[in-house]
Amino acid sequence: METTQTLEGLKRNIVLERDEIYNGSWEKYENDLRQRLNNPAKYKWTTIKNIEETLEIIPSLRRLETEMGINLTELL
């Protein structure tokens, strides 16, 4: 299991985006990304791949927060 000390790169950015853009809400973040996937004509292939990758990572970050009983932003 990953610890917050190793939370970097894309995972770190996802946590920061969740707090800055979506007011700390995983649900709002995931819903927005899924809506973007529903209209792929507006996005480049690389953007779609980034959205899909982010949607794959979010569950592990949510689980980490739940298991540790913290908001990951507090440790960045």
Reported as a single tens digit per residue, the pLDDT across 23-60 is: 999 999 999 999 999 988 888 888 999 999 999 999 99
**Mean pLDDT over the full length of the chain:** 89
What are the Cα distances from residue 51, in Å, to 9, 10, 30, 45, 54? 15, 12, 9, 10, 5
Cα-Cα-Cα-Cα torsion 52, 53, 55, 59, nearest 10 degrees, comes to 150
Q: Which two tokens stand for residue 68?
A: 């540790």
Residue range(s) defining the domain that contains residue 55: 4-75
How many structural domains is the chain composed of? 1
